[in-house]
Amino acid sequence: MFDTTFIDQVNTLSEQTIQDCYHCHKCTAGCPVASEMDYGPDRVLRMVQLGEKERLLSSHDIWLCASCETCGARCPNEIDIARVIDALRQFALDTRLRPVPMVIAEPDAVKFNRLFLFVVQNMGRMHEATLLASYKLWTRNLLADMDSGAIMIMKGKVPLLPHVIKARKDVKRIFETTRMENR
């Protein structure tokens, strides 16, 4: 018997109707990172439709998605594919939902996401220098992207001192409240 649990869970989490997809490939055709992906957004949806949970959650695709929303904007069946990929990320990270054992294909992406939110939560606002430094230390890759990094610094995109905002404590509280609700 064909098990529809996975489709139902992803549908609920992403608030999309994945069965609507008729595989025209328009999303993959417009996705800016599709060439780097294993499958592309269209095949990702097909794997959800066929219930291929393990293959999907251990693929690179769900981490490479840049959430640019080109796919969702163009989909003729009104499916927001980026949201589906986001739901799959939640699946991959939520120990209650994901299969055990499981390997995350792009652990650095997870680290970056975690650090990003950590900086915003604690400093009230993004501080690129803190994010950069801690990311490089955590991934133990000090020299990666230094060419574009140097240009960014020269153009003033990486201020040394963080911008202090008044409502830092409120931002922290938003994070804590949201985390509590999703427990």
Partner 1 sequence: MSRIGVFICHCGHNIAGTVDVQAVVDQVRQHPDVTFTADYKYMCSDPGQQLIKDSINNYKLDGVVVAACSPAMHETTFRRTVASVGLNPYRCESANIREQCSWVHQHDQNAATQKAIAIARSIAEKVAGNEELQNLILPLTHRTLVIGGGIAGMQAALDVADAGYPVVLVERECQLGGKMVQLSSTYLNFSAAPDMLQQIIDRLSHHPNIQVLTNAEVTEVSGYVGNFKVHVSRSESGGSKEINGKSLFSAANPQSTTLDFFFDIGAIIVTTGWQPYDLTLLPEYGGVEIPDVVDALTFEKMLASGDQIRRPSDGKVPREIVFVQCAGSRDRERGVPYCSKVCCMVVAKQAMLYRERVPDGQAYVFYIDIHSAGKGYDEYVQHAMTDYQVLYLRGKVSRIFQEDGKVIVWGADTLSGRTIEITADLVVLATPMTPDHSAIELGQRLHISTDANGFFNEAHPKLRPVESLTAGIFLAGAGQGPKDIPETIAQASGAAAKVLQLFSHDEMTASPMVATVISELCAACGACVKACPYGARQIHPLRRIATVNAALCQSCGACVVACPNKASQVHNWRPDQILAMMDEMI
Q: Which is nearer to partner 1, 23 or 157 (CB)?
A: 23
Q: Which stretch, 44-52, 57-65, 82-90, 137-145, contacts partner 1 (CB under 8 A)?
A: 44-52
Q: Which of 10, 27, 34, 47 binds partner 1 (CB under 8 A)?
A: 47
Contact flag: residue 46 with partner 1 (CB under 8 A): yes
Residue count of the chain: 183
What is the distance between the alpha carbons of residues 94 and 88, in angstroms, rounded to a whole number? 10
Of 38, 52, 54, 108, which lies in the binding site for partner 1, with binding defined by CB under 8 A? 52
Q: Can residue 35 be called a binding residue for partner 1 (CB under 8 A)?
A: no
Residue type at position 152: M
Least spacing, CB of residue 43 vs partner 1, in Å: 7
Helix axes 5-14, 41-49, angle to 10 degrees: 130
Does residue 22 touch partner 1 according to CB under 8 A? yes
Q: Which of 2, 96, 143, 178 binds partner 1 (CB under 8 A)?
A: 2
Residue 79: CB atoms within 10 Å? 21
* Cβ neighbours of 138 (radius 10 Å): 13
Residues 6+ apart with CB under 8 A from 39: 47, 59, 61
The least CB distance from residue 67 to partner 1, in Å, is 24
Task: Pick between residue 1 and residue 180 the one whose CB is nearest to partner 1.
Answer: 1
Residue 37 gets which letter from DSSP?
S
Nearer of residues 20 and 170 to partner 1, judged by Cβ: 20
Q: How far apart are CA 63 and CA 127, in angstroms?
A: 23
Structure tokens at 164: 């202090």
Query: Which residues of the shown chain bind partner 1 in the complex (CB under 8 A)?
Result: 1-2, 4, 17, 19-20, 22-23, 42-43, 46-47, 49-50, 52
